[in-house]
A and B are shown apart, each in its own frame.
Chain A
């Protein structure tokens, strides 16, 4: 496949078209795109305005385009829940440490595998790729974690599942296509070893793939609850998602059963908090994306296209 063309450059070659069929097609396409955009964006927009609205107005179907009965009570209620903030802190810790470990492990393995002069390269690749299609399954993995005394520890959240074979493949492709082999030959002549070459030449040239993999891993650990559900017992170590599960999903069933005035108030507060908790939990990770976006074209795209 040819060199990646920036989209803008490709389109300058576009020749003016006056055909009606093209105009019709363009019109239909933009209409579909607009409808599609509306379907994607409206539920998100609704959550935002609902979080600032009086919950009875939301439930009564009066909130459509603007908040009704503006209130910050949902957010205030949020502040009173200590476990949310403990979860928040834990998630930040797991995400930061997990991303650093994940990047270090996957990027370095991917670079080694990208080198054609690595003896046994084919077999080492197979060693990793096999685990994508075959695995021990839930219980044997659980028993292994317990045997290693990792159950209910900080490490279990950041270490055991840090190798991502898909990440390695994408990064390997990136290294193969964007780090010229001549560089290594030149460095070798200057007496530079593999490790120094990797640290001082390869890594600085690989910001795009580091950014992209970093985003993937960070989003993955910010959003995951399964490992915590299985491997953590101590509630003080729960990540945000596990606490969210109790607020958003499990509680919903229980709160419906209560009666009396106290239960009504609790239900009302819980309802208000539900919208604000979604925003507070999601906005931070969405904010990372725009910073990485500029690397996306170079990073994933090369990795994806050549695969």
Chain B
């Protein structure tokens, strides 16, 4: 914006000349203002004793009362622990789509490869509701596919959906099953941008296919992988509400209550607006700090960063 300071007239002229571009931006900007920034102002209720009759501005201040209430509640450590277990567990599965992409890239571009890709994308199109419904049907120990498989070998199947100890595994691996193909697309794209002369040079130098994967493909994927990893770590406490909420039942309750489901229950089901907002704000702030930290670390170590 240096030129703007020196020639304010020129900047204004440019804005005027390009008014059409601002018109194109207008709808998205207004929607963002109304539905993203206005609620940010509403975050204030986390520090107030919000009552709908008085409104956000009119409600009396409560300071950090609701934050303290949350920190001292017995739900504090268990929801955070459950959230962290699930998200760190998911983070560990991060390399799987990368490996899949490396494999697809090694396949000859023929019908099998196309079939393989199409099939691996398919589960992504299943909605969360149907996915959890599917899991309930297939994983049922009495009537489901898993139950039938076990009885084929004369064994008793574990109750995968109704077990607190297995909840995180069921959640994470069903997610891998559903999205691994889709998540690999971005890496396949990055690999398709590799300059073919690199492979030719490597072949001349006597590299095996494994060498090429190791010394060309994997380094090529690093920038994309790191960027995505930063985003994932930034959302470490932001495990999605939808699937966990649908998978919850009385049997797995001790390990399935996470921050976002707790926020929903406190806020919308029991109408404790301020308390719920405080928990939510705590969650957002931690994520924001994590994101900045990981981004800084990555900047130092690898020159990859989001900004």
Residue ranges of A at the interface with B (Cβ–Cβ < 8 Å): 1-2, 4-11, 13-15, 17, 19, 21-22, 25-26, 29-30, 32-33, 36-37, 39-41, 43-44, 46-47, 58-61, 104-106, 108-109, 111-113, 115, 117-120, 122, 124, 127-128, 131, 133-145, 148, 159-163, 168, 193-195, 197-198, 219, 222-226, 230, 241-242, 244-245, 247-249, 252-253, 271, 274-275, 278, 281-282, 285-286, 289-290, 293, 296, 300-301, 304-305, 307
Q: Are B128 and A198 in contact (CB under 8 A)?
A: no
Q: Are B24 and A136 in contact (CB under 8 A)?
A: no
Interface string of B128-149 (1 = CB under 8 A from A): 1110111011100011010110
In whole Å, how far is A224's beta carbon from the nearest beta carbon of chain B?
8
Q: Give CA–CA (A248, B133) in the complex, Å.
A: 5
B254-306 contacts to A (CB < 8 Å):
263-264, 267-268, 273, 276-277, 280-281, 283-284, 287-288, 291
Q: Are B136 and A249 in contact (CB under 8 A)?
A: yes
How many interface residues does B have (CB within 8 Å)? 102
Given A1-B193, A33-B103, A223 and B28 contact (CB-CB distance below 8 Å): no
Q: Are A248 and B288 in contact (CB under 8 A)?
A: no
* Those 6 A-B pairs whose CB atoms lie nearest each other, nearest first: A136-B39, A194-B20, A140-B42, A248-B133, A61-B148, A223-B127
Given A17-B209, A29-B103, A127-B32, A138 and B24 contact (CB-CB distance below 8 Å): no
Which stretch from B73-81, B84-92, B115-123 is at the chain A interface?
Answer: B115-123
Q: Are B43 and A124 in contact (CB under 8 A)?
A: no
Most buried by B among A46, A118, A249: A249
Q: List the A side residues contacting B134 at CB < 8 Å.
A: 43, 47, 278
Q: List the A side residues contacting B143 at CB < 8 Å.
A: 58-59, 271
Q: Are B24 and A111 in contact (CB under 8 A)?
A: yes
Q: Is B200 close to A, CB under 8 A?
A: yes
- Output the nearest chain A residue to B280 by Cβ-Cβ distance: A137
Q: Are B125 and A289 in contact (CB under 8 A)?
A: yes
Q: Are A139 and B42 in contact (CB under 8 A)?
A: yes
Given A33-B107, A160-B31, A219 and B125 contact (CB-CB distance below 8 Å): yes
Q: Are A230 and B268 in contact (CB under 8 A)?
A: yes
Q: List the A side residues contacting B109 at CB < 8 Å.
A: 7-8, 11
Q: Are B133 and A278 in contact (CB under 8 A)?
A: yes
- Output the nearest chain B residue to A283 by Cβ-Cβ distance: B125
Given A105-B31, A307-B227, A282 and B125 contact (CB-CB distance below 8 Å): yes
Q: Are B20 and A300 in contact (CB under 8 A)?
A: no
Q: Give CA–CA (A162, B30) in the complex, Å.
A: 11
Q: Are A293 and B106 in contact (CB under 8 A)?
A: no
Most buried by A among B43, B129, B189, B264: B129
Q: Give CA–CA (A9, B194) in the complex, Å.
A: 12
Q: List the B side residues contacting A293 at CB < 8 Å.
A: 118
Q: List the B side residues contacting A226 at CB < 8 Å.
A: 241-242
Q: List the B side residues contacting A140 at CB < 8 Å.
A: 39-43, 45, 277
B186-229 contacts to A (CB < 8 Å):
186, 188-190, 192-197, 199-200, 203, 208-210, 224, 227
